[in-house]
């Protein structure tokens, strides 16, 4: 898998093993020269001075494997990368879509070869057997119950055991899986650990081994194959609409609507482009889904590089929610629906977190009293302003600023007539402000129950000579300095009209 067609030959990749540089992979030409993985680099260079040797890059290998696994999603959504060099695909129930297991395997191998990889593939009823067959045998398809015959002649390393266990088994003369198949289990487990028997059972299909998929499997999926790859944006959008029409039927059967959708575009050269879009209410309407992707594609612009075209498009509903059947009518609902569409469009183009609603929180600390949450998620939620209004009337809160700095800005050169009194002048952003009118202080206690609560704050509304109105606060008190508390600091927190 690490061998590329265009690379110079003979080629070997080496990695560090302790203090030693060992070859970890060799290409076909190097193999013909008698080099193998595990040979010391110095020895290999001495044998063949023309050898091109490159250091290994495990992170890049892992990324490549992930990208390939992504591409393999075209065969089944249930798959997992099996580092360092394998991919596990659960093709139960989807082989017939490709004309049977044989055809699926041929197709996979042909495409992998086309990308320039040397790949081996095997199909078996258990993960262990398939992995052993792909790496250590020529068997293409192993029918259920034939695992014994398949595994018997293979070396014990095929069971995915640790190298220590394999070495320990080799010391007592157990080299092949066949050697341990019929041995009494208790002594084996006692001497070599339960792991050995578990891996054996898993390979033989006696114990079920679950496959953890890389990505959660979407509840609704529709896909379309193209004999002639598509590249134009209009074609992609038309495909989205066609797939959405198919999804609509499936969603309607279960009374669901899509809250989050993902469009996966499989490029002919193996790159997979994924585009996600969210909605603020469950939708089924293909037109609405198409409109979302219009904005997403516009926002992505050149990032969606079609290259030589996409040969498979898959639209999946990653989050579905119950959706009441379409209703026609009353004015208010129409308006709400129109607003939802606007929010969806804006969120699709600008990003979900950029379109928000203000939610009131039950906190007396000004920066915690309100939060901006994604409007799509909050479309039907209670925002809590009623409670805030009740609180404001009860507590007789002083007016709050219109604009608020998320991070209070320190102000300097604060001059006050009495240490804990209101400021007379202060400097903010290098400009000096002369205070002519003040209201306050309003004492707001810090979160005294928490370690990071901070000191109490005294808030002042001030107006300067030019009529600018600010919300300032002093964190801490001067008189507390006697108790060796830090010096109070002044901040500007907001502006009034």
CB of 260 to another protein, least distance (A): 20
Q: Which is nearer to another protein, 342 or 447 (CB)?
A: 342
CB of 288 to another protein, least distance (A): 14
Which is nearest to 423 in space by CA: 496, 492, 495? 492
Question: What distances in angstroms separate CA 75 from CA 69, 71, 238, 273, one per listed residue?
Answer: 10, 9, 23, 16
- Binding residues (CB under 8 A) for another protein: these are 335-336, 338-339, 341-343, 345-346, 349-350, 354-358, 360, 366, 369-370, 372, 375, 383, 385-386, 388-390, 392-393, 397, 399-406, 417, 422, 424, 431, 435-439, 461-463, 465-469, 494-497
CB of 117 to another protein, least distance (A): 39
CB of 265 to another protein, least distance (A): 24
Judge residue 326's burial from the number of C-beta atoms within 10 Å of its C-beta, 0-12 exposed, 13-18 middle, 19 or more buried: exposed
Return the structure tokens found at 354: 């950029």
Q: Which is nearer to another protein, 115 or 496 (CB)?
A: 496
119 contacts: CB under 8 Å, gap ≥ 6: 1, 108, 109, 112, 113
CB of 205 to another protein, least distance (A): 54
Judge residue 187's burial from the number of C-beta atoms within 10 Å of its C-beta, 0-12 exposed, 13-18 middle, 19 or more buried: exposed
Q: Which is nearer to another protein, 154 or 414 (CB)?
A: 414
Q: Which is nearer to another protein, 224 or 400 (CB)?
A: 400
CB of 362 to another protein, least distance (A): 13
CB of 460 to another protein, least distance (A): 10
Half-sphere exposure of 288 (CA within 13 A, CB side): 22
Return the structure tokens found at 360: 């009131």
Q: Which is nearer to another protein, 140 or 438 (CB)?
A: 438
Q: Which is nearer to another protein, 21 or 464 (CB)?
A: 464
CB of 475 to another protein, least distance (A): 19
Residue 63 per-residue DSSP state: H
Q: How far apart are CA 88 and CA 67, in angstroms?
A: 14
Which is nearest to 216 in space by CA: 80, 323, 95, 113? 80
Q: Which is nearer to another protein, 170 or 437 (CB)?
A: 437
Q: Which is nearer to another protein, 37 or 370 (CB)?
A: 370
Q: Which is nearer to another protein, 44 or 492 (CB)?
A: 492
Which residues face 418 on adjacent strands?
none
CB of 293 to another protein, least distance (A): 16
Helix axes 286-300, 331-350, angle to 10 degrees: 30
Length of the chain as a residue count: 497
Question: What distances in angstroms separate CA 141 from CA 72, 129, 145, 255, 365, one per listed residue?
Answer: 19, 10, 12, 41, 66
Residue 100 per-residue DSSP state: S
82-99: buried (b, 16+ CB within 10 Å) or exposed (e) per residue? Answer: beebbbbbbbeeebeebe
């Amino acid at each position: 898998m690490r061998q590329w067609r265009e690379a110079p030959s003979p080629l070997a990749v080496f990695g560090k093993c302790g203090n030693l540089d060992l070859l970890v992979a060799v290409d076909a030409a190097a193999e013909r020269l008698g080099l193998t993985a595990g040979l010391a680099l110095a020895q290999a260079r001495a044998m063949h001075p023309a050898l091109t040797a490159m250091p290994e890059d495990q992170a890049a290998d892992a990324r490549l494997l992930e990208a390939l696994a992504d591409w393999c999603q075209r065969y089944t959504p249930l798959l997992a990368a099996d580092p360092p060099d394998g991919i596990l695909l659960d093709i139960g129930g989807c082989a017939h879509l490709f004309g049977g297991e044989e055809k699926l395997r041929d197709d996979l191998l042909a495409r992998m070869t086309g990308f320039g990889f040397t790949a081996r593939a095997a199909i078996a009823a258990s993960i262990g057997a398939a992995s052993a067959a792909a790496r250590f045998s020529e068997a293409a398809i192993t029918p259920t119950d034939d695992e014994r015959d398949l595994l018997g002649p293979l070396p014990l390393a095929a069971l995915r055991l640790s190298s220590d266990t394999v070495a320990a088994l080799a010391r007592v003369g157990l080299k092949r899986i066949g050697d341990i198949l019929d041995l009494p289990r208790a002594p084996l487990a006692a001497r070599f650990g339960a792991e050995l028997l578990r891996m054996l059972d898993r390979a033989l299909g006696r114990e079920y081994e679950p496959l953890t998929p890389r990505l959660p499997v979407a509840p609704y999926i529709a896909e379309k194959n193209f004999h002639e790859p598509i590249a134009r944006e209009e074609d992609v959008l038309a495909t989205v609409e066609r797939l959405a029409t198919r999804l609509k039927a499936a969603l309607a059967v279960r009374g669901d609507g899509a809250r989050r959708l993902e469009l996966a575009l499989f490029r002919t050269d193996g790159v997979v482009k994924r585009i996600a879009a969210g909605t603020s209410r469950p939708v089924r309407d293909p037109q609405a889904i198409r409109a979302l992707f219009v904005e997403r594609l516009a926002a992505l612009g050149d990032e969606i590089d079609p290259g030589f075209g996409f040969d498979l498009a898959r639209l999946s509903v990653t989050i579905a929610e119950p959706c009441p059947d379409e209703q026609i009518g009353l004015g208010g609902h129409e308006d709400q629906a129109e607003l939802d569409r606007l929010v969806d469009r804006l969120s699709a183009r600008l990003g979900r977190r950029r379109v928000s609603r203000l939610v009131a929180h039950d906190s007396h600390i000004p920066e915690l009293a309100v939060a901006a949450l994604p409007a799509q998620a909050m479309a039907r939620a209670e925002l809590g302003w009623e409670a805030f209004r009740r609180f404001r009337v009860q507590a007789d809160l002083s007016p709050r600023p219109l604009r608020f700095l998320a991070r209070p800005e320190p102000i300097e050169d604060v001059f006050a007539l009495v240490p804990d009194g209101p400021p007379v002048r202060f400097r903010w952003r290098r400009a000096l402000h002369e205070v002519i009118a003040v209201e306050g202080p309003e004492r707001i206690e810090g979160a005294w129950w928490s370690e990071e609560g901070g000191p109490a704050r005294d808030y002042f509304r001030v107006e300067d000579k030019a009529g600018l109105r600010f919300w300032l606060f002093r964190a801490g008190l001067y008189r507390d300095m006697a108790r060796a508390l830090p010096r109070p600091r002044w901040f500007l927190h907001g502006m009034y009209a």
